[in-house]
Amino acid sequence: MSSSTISLFRLPNTAIKYVLRSSDSREFVIFSTLTDRAKCLAKSIKWKSEWILFNPQFGCILTIYWNDYVYFGDKGPNEMCTLVIKTPRKNETQFTKPEFGVREWLEHFLFIFNHPEVHVQLQNDWVYTLESVQTLLEGLTIDRLEVFDSFEVLRHYPLINYLSLGNNDNGPGLFSPEDLKITRKALLGNIPRVWVNRSIGFNLDTLLMMNCPEIASIGDLISDKELNTFLKLWLKGSHPNLRELSYSNRRAGFRGFKERIVFKGIKYEKKECFNTFLLGEYYISRKADGTMARLLLANTVFRIIFLSILSARAKNLVQSLNRKAVCIEFYLQRRSEITIFTPSSYTFRVVDENLYNGFEDLTTFKLEHTSIFGSLTGISLSLPGYGTREWLEHFMYIFNHSMISLHFADRSEWGYTLESVHKELKGFTIGNLNVREVNENVREVLRLFPVMNALNTRMNSMEDADFMKKLFLGNIPYVDLSLTPMDLDTLLAMNCQDFRSSGVLLSDKDLNMFLKLWLKGSNPNLQSLRLRYSDWMHRDQRKIFNEGIIFKGIKYEKKPENEVRSFQPEILKPHGYLRFSGGYDILRKSDGSRATVLIDSKYSTFSMYLWP
């Protein structure tokens, strides 16, 4: 197609780029295929896709922006394939380009999205042959390779950053010696990051042969005694490239690690650990080069919970250990779930095994444990006289927790009445409240359950907005709203420390006025602000910010894009911190408060963070 026939191409490149930045994913992709000039202009925008995935089971998936996806190649390596573009709230768009097959589309997207590598995921039930996969990927750089069962492919693909090996079966004995030989040979390479599923036969011999800086594995083949052997060999100089090792022993979910065996014959320093779900924080030093290693052994919460239900004395003994949970959440849908989030990234859930329409006579639950690797272990547990309320009271007592988090699913999924929930939770303090419903259901929930710490909900009418303004006058530290019409008056009225909203109505002039008023002393409690101009219903809409209008009349310091900073206000502790680059720093002279403003037109977000 000649560029002269398209009116857009009569504009200078700067104008075309401005139009492209405000386009949605579908328009952007189609535009990039028009001409070579269009392709290069699309590349110059520097949009970054989340990943470009190839899977011979269902073809290729390109994740562009939130839930914007591009699919192609699901029928196999045809000479010409159909491109399917899916964006929320819009009909599916199908598009073909003459002589463009799977390989050509891959190369095209790698180019326009400035993506150097392909993520390859090889599972079962291929619509491709191994030979066609080799031809298709020849010359392309593979950044991440995930292999399930088909380990022979490891012979053909050099890797750069990440290898994931897994299997859908239950034990290492199901693999042939040739499969194990191939996988262990791959593990001897210099792949920076390796994740090994428990079914691969990951044992001490395999671990000792590996030369990877980062290793993660799920298994039950390495005993505490073998961990002791590994540590002794590391102290003598083995694994010089190792930076991080994470090993999740499935059996340890029930019995835990034994400190006296793991550290037998090893000189170490044990320090007090803020994380009470860990056995301890240990330090060992390799004398040869002075390298210091930090070891964390996770405790077993299964054992703690079992002990706590044996008797009143056992319950009090567990409580006296002062184990602290990050959060105890009560999740309500067709059945109830009580989830305990621990500081060591392990979660434990008590799940009612039967669908029900109330809370009476709920004595049979399933206790589930999820590790940092996502592995799930479960056991059914029946305790006479224990229902939802009794389990909540029990966990809050033994984990020294004063408040619960309450999470309501959509009303269409409810297996209970709101009145029954209110009766069941009478007397409990609600720390965090998450309501996925809209309109009258939200108002009804908020009237029955006052919130202490955090509110996450969505409301989508002006009547709701008026109701929310009354809430803002309260002292809820954290508020996250979706679909709520957010104007300047509402923003100035809120008294939150951390505020997030989508579906914002603020113009660039409104943002300028907000910053000027903040500099004069408004919103004194604010620590963190994040405004999203697109929401889950309109993710293909974008807001192009005008920094000249936003900062008109405001003195600021623009930070370089390559300057990366970490931010952790009090409200984020102990949950982590944020890392960001660039931004605009402004200073409130009255109290010396310094804030960084971040503007991102790609994701339509305006953020503001106050430095502690």
| DSSP symbols for 551-582 | TTT---EEPPTT-EEEE--GGGTTT--EEEE-
Structural domain span for residue 114: 8-222
Q: Flag the least confident range among 101-110, 216-225, 465-474, 544-553.
A: 465-474
Domain stops at, among 529, 545, 569: 529
C-alpha span between 512 and 342 (Å, rounded): 41
Q: Is residue 313 assigned to a domain? A: yes
Closest CA to 320 of 278, 276, 280: 276
* Average pLDDT of span 353-379: 49
Q: Is residue 430 assigned to a domain? A: yes
* Average pLDDT of span 506-531: 92
Amino acid identity of 107?
E
Residue 491 vs residue 177, higher pLDDT = 491
Q: Is residue 31 assigned to a domain? A: yes
Closest CA to 407 of 425, 386, 381, 380: 425
Tell me: do 216 and 309 sit in the same domain: no
Amino acid identity of 407?
H
* Helical segments of 449-607, H only: 462-472, 488-493, 508-519, 547-550
Tell me: do 209 and 79 sit in the same domain: yes
Q: Is residue 602 assigned to a domain? A: no
Tell me: do 158 and 56 sit in the same domain: yes
In the block, residue with structure tokens 């971040």: 598
Q: Flag the least confident range among 92-101, 151-160, 274-283.
A: 274-283
User: What pLDDT is attached to residue 536?
Assistant: 43
Q: Is residue 288 assigned to a domain? A: no
Chain-centroid distance of CA 492 in Å reads: 31
Q: Is residue 286 assigned to a domain? A: no
3-state secondary structure of 339: strand
* Average pLDDT of span 385-389: 77
Tell me: cis bond preceding 574? Omega within 30 of 0 counts. yes
Tell me: do 216 and 307 sit in the same domain: no
Tell me: do 370 and 481 sit in the same domain: yes
* Helical segments of 473-507, H only: 488-493
Domain stops at, among 176, 200, 222: 222
Residue 490 has pLDDT above 70, yes or no: yes
C-alpha span between 332 and 161 (Å, rounded): 40
User: What pLDDT is attached to residue 390?
Assistant: 83
Q: What is the largest CA-CA distance in the chain?
A: 85
Tell me: do 201 and 315 sit in the same domain: no
Which range among 82-91, 456-465, 581-590 has the greatest average pLDDT? 581-590
Confidence of residue 253 (pLDDT cuts 50, 70, 90): very low
User: What pLDDT is attached to residue 254?
Assistant: 45
Domain stops at, among 529, 545, 573: 529
Tell me: do 46 and 151 sit in the same domain: yes
User: What pLDDT is attached to residue 487?
Assistant: 79
600: tokens are: 């991102």
User: What pLDDT is attached to residue 309?
Assistant: 83
Q: Is residue 357 assigned to a domain? A: yes
User: What pLDDT is attached to residue 397?
Assistant: 92
* Model pTM score: 0.58
Q: Is residue 456 assigned to a domain? A: yes
Report how many domains make up the chain. Answer: 2
Side-chain-side CA neighbours of residue 133 (13 Å) = 25
* Average pLDDT of span 109-115: 89
Residue 460 vs residue 360, higher pLDDT = 460
Q: What is the mean pLDDT of the chain?
A: 76
C-alpha span between 377 and 370 (Å, rounded): 7
* Average pLDDT of span 302-312: 79
